[in-house]
Structure 1
Amino acid sequence: MERKGRRRNRPKDDFEAVLTMDELNSVVIVSYMMVLFNKMKYGSPERDHGIGFVNPSLILPKDIGVLGVLDMKSNTCYYLDSLSSANFNMQLKQIVDSTMVLYATQSGSNKRIKLNWVNVTCPVQPGGTECGYYMLRFMKEIVEEGIEVLVKDNIGDGKVEYTTDDIDEIREEWSEFVTGFIYR
Structure 2
Amino acid sequence: MTAIGKEDFEEVFGHLTLGITIINTYIMFLYDKLIRPRGLESRFAFINPNVVHVGSIISKPYEVIAFVLSLFMASKDTEKLFFLPYNTGPNGHWLLVAINPVREIIYYLDSLGNDWTTYPDMKKTIDTILQSFRAQRDIQVPRSRVNNISWIKMECPRQRNGVDCGYFMLRFMKETILLDRLEIPSTI
Instruction: Place the TM-score, normalised by the shorter chain, in its bin.
Output: 0.5 to 0.7
Contact 1:53–1:68 at 8 Å: present in 2 too? yes
Question: Equivalents in 1 of 2:130, 2:156: separation in Å?
Answer: 25
Q: Which residue of 1 aligns with 2:86?
A: 56
Query: Which secondary structure state, in structure 2, belongs to the residue aligned with residue 77 of structure 1?
Result: strand
With over 3 angstroms needed to count, the CA separation of the structure-2 counterparts of 1:115 and 1:109, relative to structure 1, is same
Question: Equivalents in 2 of 1:63, 1:79: separation in Å?
Answer: 17
Query: Which secondary structure state, in structure 2, belongs to the residue aligned with residue 69 of structure 1?
Result: strand
1:74 correspondence with 2:68: no
CA deviations 1:129-152 (Å, max 9, x no partner) are 1111110011110110133662x3
Shift of 1:30: 1.3
Query: Which secondary structure state, in structure 2, belongs to the residue aligned with residue 42 of structure 1?
Result: coil
Structure 2: gaps of 5 or more residues: 45-79, 141-145
| Identity within the alignment, % | 25
Cα RMSD for the two superposed structures = 3.3
Q: Which amino acid aligns with 1:43?
A: R
Q: Which amino acid aligns with 1:40?
A: I
Shift of 1:66: 1.1
Question: Equivalents in 2 of 1:80, 1:127: separation in Å?
Answer: 17
Shift of 1:56: 1.4
Which residue of 153, 158, 175 corresponds with 2:186?
153
Larger radius of gyration: 1
Structure 1: gaps of 5 or more residues: 1-16, 156-184
Q: Could you state the TM-score of these two structures normalised by the residue count of structure 2?
A: 0.58
Shift of 1:121: 0.3
Q: Which residue of 2 aligns with 1:109?
A: 137
With over 3 angstroms needed to count, the CA separation of the structure-2 counterparts of 1:63 and 1:75, relative to structure 1, is farther
Q: Which has the higher contact order (CA 8 A, sep 6+)?
A: 2
